[in-house]
Structure 1
Amino acid sequence: MPRVSEEHRAARRQQIVEAARRCFLREGFHRTSMQDVIAEAGLSVGAVYRYFPSKTDLINAIAEQAIGGAGRVLTELTRQDPPVPLLAVLDRVLAYVETQLADDGALRIAIQVWGEAQRDPALAAFVAETYAGFREHFTGLVRRAQRSGDLPADADPEATGAALFGLVPGWFIQRLLTGVPDRATYLTGVAALLRATPRPV
């Protein structure tokens, strides 16, 4: 019996992931069963479970594809010399996020995952690890900005990185729920905040 090629396995795996994505977008994560995914993929039970033993494994695979793209953007930004100004960093990250905002984009599933993570410990651990990794990327970018003089040397890198990272979901949640603001408008607002002079409380 001929061995199945790596290309065939990758294609079959992607076929299942795309079927799960359609099911999750149509019915929601909680209401979609593995049987629904199997029917959508048009494969046997064994074929699907061979690649994905659970619904959590499927959602992880979908998230990892989107995360991989964001990770590549952040890695590229951390390697650029001279360092990219922080507002331009945010612009580049939001430009990638914008590609995931469509009706079939990963961010609509991400919102469902956040809710499901409140009751599923394995999914909660995956989400926590994923977002901690993103936050570390932003902390590193903040440190580079300090070395280049784009940010005061006495700024707390971890606190500033966390705040910078928080601007990303802050934007796409507004876009998903209300359709606005567009990326340029949001960045204009962030730039204004960065120029604001702090006053004593």
Structure 2
Amino acid sequence: MSDPTLDDDTRPKSNSNNHEGLSEKEKRALLRRTQILDAATDCFVEYGFHRASMAVVAKAAAMSPGHIYHYFESKEDIIAAIIERSLEEFYENTDSIQSADELIAGILEQLENKIACNKSCHPILMLEATAEASRHPELASVVQSVDRKIRERLMALLAGNRELDIEARRALEARVELVCVLFAGLGVRGIRNPDVDREALAEQLKVVITRLFAESCGH
């Protein structure tokens, strides 16, 4: 499994949508990796991590199992790459954000995607990844590293240029953690209670998130 740890102030460098500066060989390899990760994501969601064998993933990716092993050492390595890719996507989605108000609007939009159980959210995949992380220390390191960097990014965006004292930082960290809990919980709730009134839930989330970060926005 590749080392997932990134320097504290370093964002992902291997953006799957950014081919600038890559050789043709590197571009082909990146496209192959993306092809495998997309196929594996669909397979893990449909069959579960253990039932989705490398043969199943290979068939979905339209390549041989041996070809997949050229890019990934194991299924754990694939799921680690999927999780790391979610960090890249998170940075892409927050690149244009200039204020805490914009961030809150973005959080609400993503929470509504969770409520709608959009495929891009992959709650089943996240549950599978968390379960596997509890059994594989290396995969746990990936999950924890990505989670930490997302929280750090949210903290930086919400704090802006303000210097926070210890108590203010603790309060903001708790708010960010609560947002992460909401994201994780909505995925599970979508599975446990698929008949939830999504529109009403979205309205209440707007109230909760707005109040939660009102102080951070200076309101």
TM-score (norm 2): 0.67
From 87, 98, 107, the counterpart of 1:90: 107
| Corresponding residue number in structure 2 for 1:76 | 96
**Greater helix fraction, Structure 1 or Structure 2:** 1
SS in 2 for 1:51: coil
Q: Trace 1:28-67 onto structure 2 (pairs within 5 A).
A: 28-67=48-87
What SS class does the counterpart of residue 66 from structure 2 fall into? Answer: helix
Alignment RMSD (CA, Å) = 3.4
Task: Give the counterpart letter for 2:125 in structure 1.
Answer: I
C-alpha change, 1:24 and 1:172, in structure 2 (3 Å) is: closer
SS of match in other structure, 1:5: helix
CA distance in 2, matches of 1:154, 1:39: 49
Shift of 1:162: 1.9
* Cα offsets for 1:64-114 (capped at 9, x unmatched): 33332222223433xx15x42664353144256568x33575332111111
- The answer for the alignment partner of 1:198 in structure 2 is none
CA distance in 1, matches of 2:24, 2:101: 45
1:141 matches 2:157? yes
Aligned residues: 185
Distance in 2 of aligned mates of 1:95 and 1:73: 15
Cα distance in 1 for partners of 2:169, 2:147 equals 25
Aligned to 1:187: 205
Distance 1:87 1:15, change over 3 A: closer
State the AA in 2 paired with 1:175. G
Moved more, 11-20 or 180-189: 180-189
Quickly say closer, same or farther: Cα 1:109–1:153, change in 2 above 3 A.
closer
Gaps of 5+ in 2: 1-22, 214-219
Partner of 2:13: none
> Structure 1 unaligned runs (5+)?
196-201
Radius of gyration: which is bigger? 1
* Contact 1:16/1:48 (<8 A) preserved: yes
What is residue 7 of structure 2 aligned with on the other side? Answer: none
- How far, CA to CA, are the matches of 1:45 and 1:8 in structure 2? 18
Distance 1:90 1:68 in 2: 16
Which 4+ residue blocks in structure 1 deviate beyond 6 angstroms? Answer: none
1:164 aligns with 2:179: yes
Q: Percent identity?
A: 29
Task: Using CA pairs under 8 Å that are at least 6 residues apart, name the structure with larger relative contact order, 1 or 2.
Answer: 2
